[in-house]
Structure 1
Amino acid sequence: MLNIIYLKQIHMADTTPKINIIVVQDEMLQAEDIVNRLKELNYNIIGFTDSAAAALELISLHQHVDILLLDVVLKGATDGIELASIINEKYNIPFIFLTAHADNTIIDRAKKVKPRAYILKPFNDRQVSIAIELTLVNFSKKPLEKELLVKSDFNFSENQVPNRTDGFYLKKNNHFEHVGFLDMLFFRSDVNYTSIYTKSDLFIYSEGLNKIVEQLPKEHFIRVHRSYVVNINVVSGFEGNLLFIGNYKIPVSKKYKEAVFNLFKDVI
């Protein structure tokens, strides 16, 4: 019998699409821990299992699987690397290896199936979150082989955030989409990257948050933390040093606390 756990989706007021993930891990207790941590990061877990056969069944039953987190060692005759090879052959779904195995032989095998990342346990939640987001931003249908052979120089201007007075043109794969300022939820800095969360999508730029903030209208956006800038129009509530934006909880640092919470006076 296939050891497969389905997770019931709860429809909440926040209509922002979540990233759909399948977790495939050898130990079910570890899988449950990973699932709980991912749910805290606001990802939607379709299900989790400990075998390749069950993972393939999960994929076949769900049309919208965004990414898989695979262990190298799995229950049954097919290991995680062999499963990854099947996924490459039959499905157009990216995957990340999340494993405790760092043997050179295993890593050499893993390289051949071209994972989007190879993360060793114990892992850092932010590390996994960044890997997932960058994987999905960079993932698209494979270009034609001829296009792969064409050498092109990096165009700095293509990595900027073009703007107009009511919003930005944000780059998604190979095109730009206009996103109005009122549709932007918040900006999060991850070292050399900035993640832009909107009502319906996520965009990631290899550009510092400070440079992007300079282009934002101050009447709509406020810095609440070294790593966060929020749209004050979409804040739905607060508690302690946290602001609520849909299902997201945004920390407010001590430096910005007074200025931020003066905007959200509670009724006494």
Structure 2
Amino acid sequence: MVKDSARVKIIVVEDEILLANDIANRLRDNNYTITGIAASADNAMNLLSENPDVDIILIDIVLKGEHDGIELARMINESYDIPFLFLTSHSDDYLIERAKSVKPYAYLLKPFNDRQVCIAIELALKNFSNKTPEKDHLGKHEFSTNQNQVLQIKDSLFLKKNHYFERVPLQEILFLEADSNYCSVYTKTERFMYSVGLNKIEAQLPVDRFLRTHRSYVVNINSVKGFSGNMLYVGEMKVPVSKAHKEDVFKLFPTI
């Protein structure tokens, strides 16, 4: 069972209440947390002011009220650094050009199934992590099992597990270990294993907090409890330090 704190938090902005509840239920079934449902742009901004730590927002382009979904997205861009994707059943050229102007990170075309909504969220998180808004409104996207398994967004890694992302604060990560063509991410409570190289995941990590100690290990500097010889104590485990990395590692731990 996924801890509530690890679930990706979502706000759904949709003025058709039956559809909004259907989307929310689909997302809950796929291990996402619904922070709230908003029927208008004003409701959505109020929800955001109360929950600024939300991870992603699903916005229907056509909303009743003074502001439509595109205008809401513009307000979000001005006040928050949060990814959003557009829900739409419309392919009107003018509407789509307006939508492009606010740089959404994905589109979800109605009607959709569970797999499609999960792919759209995955794409939006990936594009937000890479700072590349989605340009293809009608494009179809699929992901192989090796894609988008680790995303660094703000102060967390979004780690792929089964068919959904879990959010793990950087401070919860102990170390990464390479084993042949696999890489394991050890957190304080769990181990995530991926069929990708250590270098690919290391590239997602802030260099001021994570350090290579060995060709097979990258360590969270703040998780090191101590050292003995060429071993670091990280959490309840030991991580080796190779000769090639010894100088860089141990200068962080000056001795008296």
- What range is the shorter-chain TM-score in? 0.5 to 0.7
* CA spacing shift, 1:48–1:213, aligned 2, 3 Å: farther
* CA spacing shift, 1:120–1:172, aligned 2, 3 Å: closer
Name the residue aligned to 1:222: none
Name the residue aligned to 1:105: 94
Name the residue aligned to 1:59: 48
For the aligned residue pairs, the C-alpha RMSD in angstroms reads: 4.0
Cα distance between partner residues in 2 of 1:133 and 1:16? 19
What residue identity is the alignment partner of 1:215? N
CA contact (8 A) 2:7 2:166 kept: no
Name the residue aligned to 1:87: 76
The unaligned stretches of length 5 or more in structure 1 are: 1-11, 144-159, 162-169, 179-183, 189-194, 202-211, 218-227, 230-268
User: Number of residues paired by the alignment?
Assistant: 162
Name the residue aligned to 1:215: 181
What residue identity is the alignment partner of 2:168? S
Q: Where has structure 1 moved over 6 Å in runs of 4 or more?
A: none
Question: What is the aligned counterpart of 2:168 among 193, 200, 205?
Answer: 200
Cα distance between partner residues in 1 of 2:160 and 2:59? 31
CA contact (8 A) 2:63 2:69 kept: yes
Cα distance between partner residues in 1 of 2:57 and 2:167? 24
Question: What is the aligned counterpart of 1:40 among 11, 15, 29?
Answer: 29
Question: What is the aligned counterpart of 1:118 among 103, 107, 113?
Answer: 107
Name the residue aligned to 1:205: none
Q: Percent identity between the aligned chains?
A: 49
Deviation at 1:73, TM superposition (A): 1.2
Name the residue aligned to 1:72: 61
CA contact (8 A) 2:87 2:107 kept: yes
Cα distance between partner residues in 1 of 2:48 and 2:167? 27
Question: What is the aligned counterpart of 1:24 among 2, 6, 13?
Answer: 13
CA contact (8 A) 1:94 1:135 kept: yes
> TM-score by structure 1 length?
0.51
Cα distance between partner residues in 2 of 1:38 and 1:79? 23
Deviation at 1:61, TM superposition (A): 0.3
The unaligned stretches of length 5 or more in structure 2 are: 133-145, 170-177, 184-193, 196-256
* CA spacing shift, 1:187–1:78, aligned 2, 3 Å: closer
Secondary structure, counterpart of 1:139 in structure 2: helix
Deviation at 1:14, TM superposition (A): 3.3
> TM-score by structure 2 length?
0.53
Cα distance between partner residues in 1 of 2:179 and 2:75? 43
Secondary structure, counterpart of 2:168 in structure 1: coil
CA contact (8 A) 1:92 1:141 kept: no
* CA spacing shift, 1:198–1:73, aligned 2, 3 Å: closer
Deviation at 1:200, TM superposition (A): 3.5
Deviation at 1:142, TM superposition (A): 6.1
Deviation at 1:49, TM superposition (A): 1.5
